[in-house]
Structure 1
Amino acid sequence: MKWYKKWLLIIVAIFVMIPLFIGIIQHNKKLPSHISFEGPTYKTDELEFLYDLTYQKNEERVLEQQLLGTALEIINEAENFLVVDMFLYNDDYDRDKGEYPNSAQKITNALVEKRKDNPTMSITVLTDAVNTLYGSTNNPYFETLEDNNINVLITNVKPLRDSNPIYSSIWRPYLQWWQPSQEGFLPNAFNPDGRKGSIGSYLDLINFKANHRKIILNESRAMLTSANLTHDGSSYHSNIGFVVQGDILKDIYLSEQAVANMTGYTLPDVTFKSSNETNGELEIQLVTEGKIKKALLGALAEADEQSTIKIGVFYISDRQIVKGIKEAAKRGANVQMILDPNKDAFGIEKNGIPNRQVAAELVPNKNIEVRFYDTNGEQFHSKFVIVTDEDETTLIGGSANFTRRNLADYNLESNLVINMPKTHVLTKEINDYFDRMWNNDDGQFTVEFEKYEDQTLWKKAFYRLQEFTGLSTF
């Protein structure tokens, strides 16, 4: 072999080995401080369960919405500081498919009014690069906030592990240097009428990781929710939320400080209003990122023949979670699941992956029943598990879908773990909420599994490939 062919092979080998080496490191690297956080448990009675529900009754759409109004209250009542961390913060959607309320504008107006009322208050908005099409467009809401001296932090997710290592291991050494441009020519993936995307922005998008949290926090109260309250196109989705007070606020602020630190910003020291609560029947704990999966698997592992498990979720695909559900049912636990049919995304029809494939896998198992939410353009966007045994109920809910990307330290997520007596009023509230949907009490909420049953072999294989490799949008 001639010398130049040997050198060519060496160069090719180096170009191949660099992504392989980087991929291994980035897939397994140490996480930033206070990411994948598991806080202490606090006893309290200061917790409120909220929800948004969209359903059909007498052939008309009915909206029961509690979350946005409460979020605006938390903003309006703030005296010392505000932190808003929302994954989607825009009004991008295909308006030819329908019109939605101006939720993003309402939150923006409330923040601006709060700044005018208190010019020196610390107000910080954390969000994801998806809202600027990864640097290809300006976001008018962010410009308004910044014009009013409100900090807007586009989260730097590079310090997180790579959920799509096959691609990201190539992107990090070779492609990330292709910077986004606001002179792009590629179609806008989120709004056909929006500004065009650039090559650099789409190269970034394919990393498939995000700040997916949904939190609003002031010195006395915080909301953790599954709802993208600052996204117009999400306004009709069904979601859940929790409002908490007391010492857990410090943990929430600490977890948000960790996200700000990743972006090169330090949230200021703040003072929280002291709570009169020193004890209570509820035990609450903040868990983020991979610690959410730990909590979910722990709750499922404790379920037996005396347990009921009620699950409502927008996406379920994580193999360990699926296995945990099967094993709980095998031990005798009664499992009821309400899943989004994965057919609607802001006017775009989806193919049902992964929920229909997971449902088809679970339904043949004894003690497992699945119903699909009867969506009509909107999504069943909640994410929760309720496990009840002889004496106690555990509720886990928040921003995290039950997928590998949401639960394996790739996305930024934030959930609550709530333990309560089986006889507690909150236990009745959440069970009434679930049972109403399951039984279609006073409205059309859910349909039988068979309506969206899909046994297509290639879709099952495609779901498993996407979940295993990270080459997916769920």
Structure 2
Amino acid sequence: MGLWFLAVLVLVLAWGGMGVWQRAKPLPEGVGMAFPERPAEQVRFLADRTWYDAQGRRHLDQAIFDEALALIGQARRLVVADMFLFNDFAGSASGATFRPLSAQLTQALIEQKRDYPELDAVVITDPLNTLYGGLALDHFERLRQAGVQVVETDLARLRASNPLWSGLWHLGPRWFGNRVDDGWLPNVLGPGRVTLRSYLALLNFNANHRKTLVVDRGEEWAGLVTSANPHDASSLHGNVALAFQGAAALDLLSSERSVASWSGVTLADPAPGPASPSPAAGAGVQLLTEGAIRDALLAAISASDPDDRLDVAVFYLAHRGVIEALVQAKSRGVRVRVLLDPNRDAFGIEKGGIPNRPVALELHRQGVEVRWCVTHGEQCHTKLLLRRPAGGGQGELILGSANFTRRNLDNLNLETSVRLVGPADTSALQEAGAFFDERWNSSPERTTSEPFGAFDKAPLWQRLRYRAMEATGLSTF
């Protein structure tokens, strides 16, 4: 009895100690970076819009992956794409015609590498695509055979999102590895069979959630930061992106260099190209990753003055610091508008409205205007904050991969967003404002959103569940 007790005690202490270490261990070099503000060169706001007409028919107006494919198509020296979801899995979704984004991106990379053999092409992605080593993906193999390097991010370098499980994971299951020919469980994300080890890895709930692209463009360098994935079943989602050139694009490449190095892949370190002949007057672009995104969001909200307009359009809003900052901004007279996804659809699986519905109720009770995106299977997948000063001074836009949650903003996931600051008449800021206004100001002929009251108020149990999930990391948001 004494030996068993001692053994169990040692296991529990090791489990707890490993969980604490994995949650608090030093961040890898290059994580949580706020790069210098650079002159805004050739900056453009892009969006994928989904809306419904008076007969309920879905309409799409998409630009983001058209731009990404065009950028790849003119590259000659370097392409680095870091994409979270890069597959054709559809989960339980059916009855919709998806754009084959994964095949289109794969083919574009293969053709460009074939036509320009000296092109250095690298794809960085999340191991969720292969169910953490439990599946072999044909398009990844095609890319490798064509000479494109495919890097699956080493997530063990990150801090634990779910330390309760990760403490045990790092003591045992992590070291068993995984195999593509041992699968016996159904793949809930798509076709094929996977191992139990795939699902044990999934329970860590961390990810390389970035969605970025860097390419050479003549003598210059171009970057794209977006909320969109090259994932077929995500092709109907609403998304946003910012395209830019110059030094900020090289900052983006630098941010990816750190992640690639974890897997032994060295990215080029090119010299800056010539300055753009037409930078946006007085505007600047700043690359942000991980926790630096949170800091920039809080600073932007804090900087808003009475009668300024603060617009938020985000797939998940759960971070307590951001929520409290929005409420404080409202209390000092800022015009705060929050547009949220109802969190009811996930690739054919019905969701329960967490975290957005409890958060929406909290904001509504504090007088913050809240509306819901109208969705029928797709998601309002944007991650955007826009600050528009009442006096026409400097406006500010932050967008990218990061949802406004603990996991996305507190140095747990890998995330990339970009901040644009400049005069109110900067074209990209105006286009972002027009995008938000269009989504907010719905009409029967172009239905995009609906009032807060369109959904039942979150019951107490749902509010408590959201708080527990956000605090502990035992969640998928």
TM range (shorter): over 0.9
Q: CA deviation at 1:271?
A: 4.2
Residue pairs, 1:276-355, within 5 angstroms: 276-277=276-277, 280-355=281-356
Q: CA deviation at 1:61?
A: 1.2
Give 1:134's aligned residue.
132
Code of the residue aligned with 1:410 in structure 2: it is L
Contact persistence 1:53–1:239 (CA under 8 A): yes
Code of the residue aligned with 1:51 in structure 2: it is A
2: CA distance, partners of 1:285 / 1:453: 39
Deviation per CA, 1:345-369: give whole Å up to 9, x if none: 1122111111111001110113x10
Code of the residue aligned with 1:98 in structure 2: it is A
Which secondary structure does the structure 2 equivalent of 1:176 belong to?
A: helix
Note if 1:178 corresponds to 2:176.
yes
How many residues are paired up? 466
Give 1:462's aligned residue.
465
2: CA distance, partners of 1:325 / 1:276: 36
2: CA distance, partners of 1:90 / 1:53: 21
Note if 1:21 corresponds to 2:22.
no
Which secondary structure does the structure 2 equivalent of 1:273 belong to?
A: coil
Give 1:187's aligned residue.
186
Q: CA deviation at 1:263?
A: 2.0
1: CA distance, partners of 2:343 / 2:370: 14
2: CA distance, partners of 1:403 / 1:95: 26
Contact persistence 1:81–1:270 (CA under 8 A): no
Q: CA deviation at 1:177?
A: 2.2
Q: CA deviation at 1:433?
A: 1.1
The farther-off stretch of 418-427 and 31-40 is 418-427
Deviation per CA, 1:16-52: give whole Å up to 9, x if none: 1112111121111111111111100112242000000
2: CA distance, partners of 1:108 / 1:463: 38
Which secondary structure does the structure 1 equivalent of 2:172 belong to?
A: helix
Contact persistence 2:124–2:153 (CA under 8 A): yes
Code of the residue aligned with 1:383 in structure 2: it is K
Give 2:396's aligned residue.
394
Deviation per CA, 1:416-438: give whole Å up to 9, x if none: 11111123333322211111111
2: CA distance, partners of 1:450 / 1:86: 36
Of 415, 418, 421, the match for 1:416: 418
Of 34, 37, 46, the match for 2:33: 37
Deviation per CA, 1:113-171: give whole Å up to 9, x if none: 10111112110000011111111111111011001011000010111100101110111
1: CA distance, partners of 2:139 / 2:455: 38
Q: CA deviation at 1:272?
A: 4.6
Q: CA deviation at 1:445?
A: 0.2
Code of the residue aligned with 2:62 in structure 1: it is Q
Code of the residue aligned with 2:74 in structure 1: it is E
Note if 1:253 corresponds to 2:253.
yes
Residue pairs, 1:110-149, within 5 angstroms: 110-149=108-147
Give 2:198's aligned residue.
201
2: CA distance, partners of 1:212 / 1:22: 24
Code of the residue aligned with 1:188 in structure 2: it is N
2: CA distance, partners of 1:96 / 1:329: 41
Identity across aligned pairs (percent)?
A: 36
Deviation per CA, 1:381-407: give whole Å up to 9, x if none: 000101122312111100000010000
Q: Gaps spanning 5+ residues in structure 1: where?
A: none
Using structure 1 for the length normalisation, give the TM-score: 0.95
Give 1:440's aligned residue.
442
Give 1:109's aligned residue.
107
Contact persistence 1:392–1:422 (CA under 8 A): yes
Contact persistence 1:179–1:201 (CA under 8 A): no
Code of the residue aligned with 1:12 in structure 2: it is V
Contact persistence 2:41–2:278 (CA under 8 A): no
Contact persistence 1:360–1:453 (CA under 8 A): no
Q: CA deviation at 1:277?
A: 4.6
Q: CA deviation at 1:330?
A: 1.1
In structure 2, do the counterparts of structure 1 residues 306 and 95 end up closer, same or farther at CA, with 3 Å as the change threshold? closer
Deviation per CA, 1:88-130: give whole Å up to 9, x if none: 0100113644331211111111101101111121100000111
Contact persistence 1:98–1:347 (CA under 8 A): no
In structure 2, do the counterparts of structure 1 residues 454 and 181 end up closer, same or farther at CA, with 3 Å as the change threshold? farther
Code of the residue aligned with 2:44 in structure 1: it is E
RMSD of aligned Cα (Å): 1.4
Which secondary structure does the structure 2 equivalent of 1:90 belong to?
A: coil
Of 44, 51, 56, the match for 1:55: 51
Code of the residue aligned with 1:427 in structure 2: it is L
